[in-house]
Amino acid sequence: MRFILTAAVWAVILALVSFVFSIRGMESGPIDKEVKEKHAEVSFEITATFSVEDDPFALNIGDKKSAFELVLDGQTVFSAEKGINDRVSFTTESFELSTGKHELFVKANPSDTRISQAVRVQVLLSGNPISSETYWFNPGQAVNAAHVFEVTEKGSQNEH
Amino acid sequence: MFNYKALILTCLLMTVSVCSAEITVAVSTTQIYNLTYNIAGDDAKVLSILAPGQDPHTYQPVTKDIETVQNADVIIENGLHLEGKNWMKTLAEDAGKPLITATDGIIPLIMDKDGTKVNDPHAWFTPRNAAVYVNNIAKALVKHDPDNRASYISRAKLLLASLKSLDGWIRSEVSVIPPEKRVLVTNHDAFQYFATEYGFINTAPIGCSTGSEVGGGVTPQRREMVVNSIREMNVRSIFFETTINPKLIREIAKDAGISIGGSLYSDSMGDSGTPGETYIGMMRENVIKIVRGLK
Ligand SMILES: [Zn+2]
């Protein structure tokens, strides 16, 4: 008798738990889908205080590293050996980004080690600037700038 | 009776010697020695023909040098005729071995040698050019000893990073000397690359090779030109070089009525235990003396 009672209580608990999960699944399922589908057309305007040319202090054996690189959320999306000019802005192609936080990492090795160097990152949403930050580096220091920004339904927000 | 123990021992010793076989690198100058040593680490034996203080322009090889080059796997020279009468090239040719030229890829500056235009061989005096040396040396070591490729590459990268930071340090140090005071007067034209890179005017009474000092001495015209330049430019101090007799510079300083800023490392690096025993130490010591003497 005690066994039947315990089994019945367990059956009721399991039924309640599965009911609650099924309701939550019905509520959250379509919303998650909706969030994943929200994308924004984002591009980046970059301005550096240095020109990019071959690094005279690079080791030219094996894999050659790019002199200038943009890494978006861990993926290299732009790299150049040369062609980037001092104080001349350039804009990357557009990338489809989901809403939420993202990171653009700028890596460069300015060959001119005489002066401090800077790089300005501007995030453009459908061509309109929505966040901007300038990063400064000491003479001889490699450029490593992590620009974190958030794409919301309304636009992007600078995290710095 | 056949001695099996001796045979096994011999085989073991041969195996050990084959496993630990390191390549030998023979280089001409002390600057190339230090750069090569930093890339080679414990994976290769590096031998320099010149000892600290010896002059590459006037050096005459001895029997020991012939043996060193004959027993080497890799032979490296500076090139651009730094080694007077191409003595390192001759040693390599006599040994029937290929020669690596550390200055390959450097665009040489031109200097006047008795009215003739010649390439300036003192290319190591900028960290940027030293980076070309490092690339050429590392390539040669990797080619001859591919088993240690990863070690050579990682040491070369570390050395290049140090050269880059040395370049930034030199620029920041020399920036305290007003541009009109950046006149570098030394015994012979060893500092043209340094002067061009860091915005100095460079003048020297002997010219581009110390060989001319041994041959016919300094021309009176050249000496007068240097004294006049010193007076016109209001130079505060002049420098002599560690490998050359300072007598001439002392006389010029007396004639021009100025002080001596000290001795600079030029065609040879310093003895062990001195700041000039490494490439980076030599460059730093020179810059400290130049800045102190001219600012
Ligand atoms: Zn010289």
108-127 of A, contacting B, C-beta below 8 A: 113-114
Q: What is the pLDDT of residues A124-140, one digit of tens each?
A: 988 888 899 999 998 87
Closest residue of B to A111, CA-based? B164
pTM: 0.69
Question: B96: burial class by Cβ within 10 Å (0-12, 13-18, 19+)?
Answer: exposed
Lowest mean pLDDT among A125-129, B11-15, B74-78, B232-236: B11-15
Tokens 């008798």 identify what position? A1
pLDDT for B29 = 98
Is residue A30 very low, low, confident or very high in pLDDT (cuts 50, 70, 90)? very low
> Which of A44-53, B190-199, B227-236 has the lowest average pLDDT?
B227-236
Query: How many angstroms separate the CA atoms of B198 and B219, rounded?
Result: 28
Q: Which domains, from first to last, does chain B contain?
A: 4-165 (3.40.50.1980), 173-294 (3.40.50.1980)
Measured CA angle at A58 (ends A54, A61), to 5 deg: 110
B58 CA to centre of ligand 1 in angstroms: 10
Q: How far is A75 from chain B (nearest CA, A)?
A: 25
**Which residue's structure tokens are 């040719």?**
B93
Is the pLDDT at B157 greater than 60? The verdict is yes
Residue B122 gets which letter from DSSP? -
Whether residue B155 is predicted with pLDDT greater than 60 in this model: the reply is yes
* Section B145-161 average pLDDT: 96
pLDDT for the residue numbered A138: 86
Give residue A158's pLDDT band: very low, low, confident or very high (50, 70, 90).
low
| Chain A residue numbers touching B171 (CB-CB < 8 A) | 113-114, 139
Instruction: Tell me the pLDDT of chain A averaged across its residues.
Output: 79
Given A59, A62, A139, which is nearest B168 (Cβ)? A139
- How close is the nearest chain A Cα to the Cα of B16, in Å? 31
Residue A48 pLDDT exceeds 90 = yes
pLDDT single digits (tens) B163-210: 999 999 999 999 999 988 999 988 878 999 999 999 998 877 766 555
Q: Is the pLDDT of residue B1 over 70?
A: no
CA–CA min distance B49, chain A (Å): 27
**Per-residue pLDDT at B266:** 93
Contacting residues of A for B131, CB less than 8 Å apart:
56-57
How many Å lie between the alpha carbon of A52 and the closest alpha carbon of chain B? 16
| pLDDT interval class at B116 (50, 70, 90) | confident
Predicted pLDDT of residue A86: 84
Q: A40-49, A75-84, A148-157, B73-82: lowest mean pLDDT where?
A: A148-157
Across the interface, of B138, B153, B164, the residue whose CB is closest to A57 is B164
Q: Name which of B167, B170, B175, B198 to mutate to probe chain A: the one with the most chain A Cβ atoms within 10 A of its Cβ.
A: B167
Residue pair B209/B114 in contact by the 8 Å Cβ criterion: no
DSSP A56-108: TTS--SSSPPPSEEEEETTEEEEEESS---TT--EEPPPEEEESEEEEEEEEE
Cβ atoms of residues A97 and A42 within 8 Å: yes
Determine contact, residues A47/A86, Cβ cutoff 8 Å. no
Q: What is the mean pLDDT of chain B?
A: 88
Q: Where are the domains of chain A?
A: 33-159
Q: Residue A156: phi, psi to the nearest 5?
A: -115, 150
